[in-house]
Amino acid sequence: MDENMNAVVTVISGNDQYKYNIKKGGLLFEALGGKHDISAVCGGKGLCGKCRVKAVGMLDEPSEHEKKLLGNAAASNIRLACLAHVLGDVTVTLDSNNASIAVAGERKKFKFSPAAEEVYIELTTPTLENPISAVKNFKEAIMRTTGKDVKIPFSLYNDCGKFIDEGKKVAYVVIANDELVAIYDEAIDLFGIAVDIGTTTVAVYLCDLKSGEVIGTAALENPQKSTGADVISRIQYIIEHDGALNTLGTLVSDALNEKISLLCKNHNADINNVMAVAIAGNTVMEHIFARHNPASIASAPFSAETLFGEFYKADSLGIKINPNGVLYMAPCVASYVGGDITAGVVAAGLYGASGTHLYIDIGTNGEMGLLHDGKFIFCATAAGPAFEGAHIDCGMSGVDGAVRAVEIDENGDIKLDVISGDKCAPKGICGSGIIDAAASFLELGLIDETGSIMCSDEVDENLAKYTDEDGEQLSLTEDGSVYLCGSDIREIQLAKSAVAAGIETLLDFCGISTSDVDSVLLAGGFGSHIRPESACKIGLIPEELLSKIKAVGNTAGMGAVSMLLSDEAIEQTVEVAFNSTYLELSGNPKFMDEFVEKMMF
């Protein structure tokens, strides 16, 4: 085989078709990774078995390792993109899955003062001597109207001169971050974009900067997932691959540009009239998006290159709105408590609140904050990606075919709620379903407190259908295609133990107990969908707090909206970020003791 010859990989996704050239002998993952919706929990290292695609053509025979990871799927032209070598032309057909991504959430009202605003000014229109005199005229007119000494970028000098040269006496100017963004001769519609960049999903909001209304939303799975399910795997990918930082940052900026363009089209908004963007994300996601290297976050002393809370030029980060538009990045508390949390607690109304409140955002990184005696204490636990469906044999994202809820009916039978269940059979199980399933199996006695699965001869006859004679797995479907196995149970125990230990360590640090907590706010897409009873049943959250739990939705997204529409919201996120306490759990003896204890169900 001539290694220098190229093969063509044709990708069919819905009605769209794409073609990529790849050197023969290369991995299918090289053609698909970062370009299409392909899960790669392990970052393409051949460990997780999640990057499954339907592929036909000239591929090598699957290895025994690949066959083991694929199981029965190996007989259906299903291959793992990270293990299949391309020997010639190949055609890949991708499923068109609709992700169930939460965009709604609680949002406190703030004083309206948008990141970009339109101001009517009156010019003195003197004889134009040079561009500098025109700029001075604009600066003076803006100062008379707003009291602000606004900076005028060089790119707008000619526009200032043109206005005065044409003898115009009034102008409508757009100002953002005390800088002139645009000049018009009549009033225009004004728009902004708010974004929550999560490790797994991204939510986008189109806002009217004159009315303060959210007029459109869009969501997508984070395209970086092809390089790993969690922030550590993505940092490792950046360390190991030249140019990967820019590649991963561009994946998100390109995806955002596509959604921004679509939102503007659907809502008759001129994209040139989009003047400001507000971004909230965890610290690593913000680093990658802003092209700051996050490598130092992955190892002790876990230091971040920046904690943000700054304005950027939007186009400098690849966002295609008005050329002079601005972009604000939410301030972070620490390397593992990011702008999504500061924006989230502010949107949820916890800033300045009285009482004791626990805020929890459970994802690949369990971030939580406790408001007590008017002060915030934050910590983060390495929950791992189990609750995102990763490292679970049948785990998957919240897309069509995913089991999202499991409950026991009055006859003691297990019932499933499947995303788009009227259109497709269960394909796997996502985070909320994983917690429900574990809780249901515990309630039925099919799992003991150590996490061991009962064998079929150890349980009542009516329950034997769910387990097997060796106690290796628990089936959720009649054909056994969706199940939890012993290693899945261990992943769930590790994840729930990390979160539960974090909660107990926070409470202990403040010298209080669960009885002192007034409310528990479950934030994020995952928090919006999990059943509190199930979370308490498996020990994710102390049972004493069950009656105090409230799902608040995507408060990170709502926090980004708030920052876009209010200086007050920005001020509060900055206050939270830089005047709170961060509790490092790594090496904390209380956390380690609690972690071991909470492993039991």
**Whether residue 295 has pLDDT greater than 80:** yes
Torsion sign, CA atoms 394, 400, 406, 412: negative
**Whether residue 596 has pLDDT greater than 60:** yes
* Helix pair angle (231-240, 244-266), 10° resolution: 120
CB 543 within 8 A of CB 339: no
pLDDT at site 126: 64
Backbone angles phi and psi of 310, in degrees to 5: -135, 160
**Whether residue 327 has pLDDT greater than 80:** yes
Note the pLDDT tens digit of each residue in 202-238: 999 999 999 999 999 998 889 998 888 789 889 999 9
Other Cβ atoms closer than 10 A to 491: 22
The residue with tokens 């269940």 is 421
**Whether residue 571 has pLDDT greater than 90:** yes
User: Edge-to-edge strands of the sheet including 366-372?
Assistant: 549-553, 519-523, 357-361, 366-372, 375-381, 581-582
Entry field: residues in the chain: 601
DSSP letter assigned to residue 598: T
Encoded amino acid at 404, one letter: R
Other Cβ atoms closer than 10 A to 344: 34
Average pLDDT over residues 394-417: 87
DSSP 148-217: ---B--GGGHHHHHHHHHTT--EEEEEEETTEEEEEESS----EEEEEEE-SSEEEEEEEETTT--EEEE
- Partners of 8 in the β-ladder: 21
Higher-pLDDT residue of 384, 69 = 69
**Whether residue 383 has pLDDT greater than 80:** no
Given this structure, which CATH class describes domain 6-94?
A: alpha beta
Chain-centroid distance of CA 589 in Å reads: 31
DSSP 498-511: HHHHHHHHHHHHTT
Tell whether omega for the bond before 542 is within 30 degrees of 0, i.e. cis: no
Higher-pLDDT residue of 518, 61 = 518
Confidence bin at 354 (pLDDT 50/70/90): very high
Q: Choose which CATH entry (3.40.50.300, 3.40.440.10, 3.30.420.480, 3.30.9.100) describes domain 191-329.
A: 3.30.420.480
Higher-pLDDT residue of 542, 2 = 542
6-94 and 116-184 agree in CATH topology: yes
pLDDT at site 69: 82
SS3 (DSSP) at 484? strand
Average pLDDT over residues 494-516: 96
Domain spans in the chain, listed from the N-terminal domain onward: 6-94, 116-184, 191-329
Work out the percent of the chain whose per-residue pLDDT is above 90.
64
Confidence bin at 1 (pLDDT 50/70/90): very low
Other Cβ atoms closer than 10 A to 506: 24
Q: What is the dihedral of CA 418, 422, 425, 429, to 10 degrees?
A: -10
Average pLDDT over residues 505-523: 96
SS3 (DSSP) at 71? helix
The CA distance from 76 to 560, in Å, is 44
Confidence bin at 570 (pLDDT 50/70/90): very high
Note the pLDDT tens digit of each residue in 253-289: 999 999 999 999 999 999 999 999 999 999 999 999 9
Q: Minimum mean pLDDT among 175-179, 251-255, 390-394, 475-479: which range?
A: 390-394
* Helix pair angle (486-509, 589-597), 10° resolution: 140
pLDDT at site 37: 63
Give the list of residues 6+ apart from residue 168 with CB closer than 8 angstroms, or none.
123, 125, 185
pLDDT at site 562: 98
Higher-pLDDT residue of 166, 171 = 171
Average pLDDT over residues 331-349: 97
**Whether residue 15 has pLDDT greater than 70:** no
Q: Minimum mean pLDDT among 301-305, 336-340, 392-396: which range?
A: 392-396
DSSP letter assigned to residue 230: S
According to CATH, the topology of domain 116-184 is Ubiquitin-like (UB roll) (3.10.20)
CB 491 within 8 A of CB 480: no
pLDDT at site 598: 95
**Whether residue 3 has pLDDT greater than 60:** no
Strands (E), 427-548: 428-429, 473-475, 483-485, 519-523
Q: Minimum mean pLDDT among 4-8, 30-34, 220-224: which range?
A: 30-34
The CA distance from 584 to 428, in Å, is 35
Average pLDDT over residues 69-95: 82
CB 282 within 8 A of CB 367: yes
Distances (CA, A) of 255 to 196, 262, 283, 323, 410: 13, 11, 19, 18, 46
The CA distance from 193 to 211, in Å, is 14
The CA distance from 66 to 86, in Å, is 15
Average pLDDT over residues 481-486: 93
pLDDT at site 313: 96
pLDDT at site 96: 59
Confidence bin at 240 (pLDDT 50/70/90): very high
Confidence bin at 140 (pLDDT 50/70/90): very high
Higher-pLDDT residue of 128, 474 = 474
CA angle 144, 150, 151 (to 5 degrees): 150
pLDDT at site 18: 79
**Whether residue 349 has pLDDT greater than 50:** yes
pTM value is 0.86
**Whether residue 294 has pLDDT greater than 50:** yes
pLDDT at site 458: 92
Distances (CA, A) of 496 to 36, 308, 438, 489, 501: 31, 30, 11, 10, 8
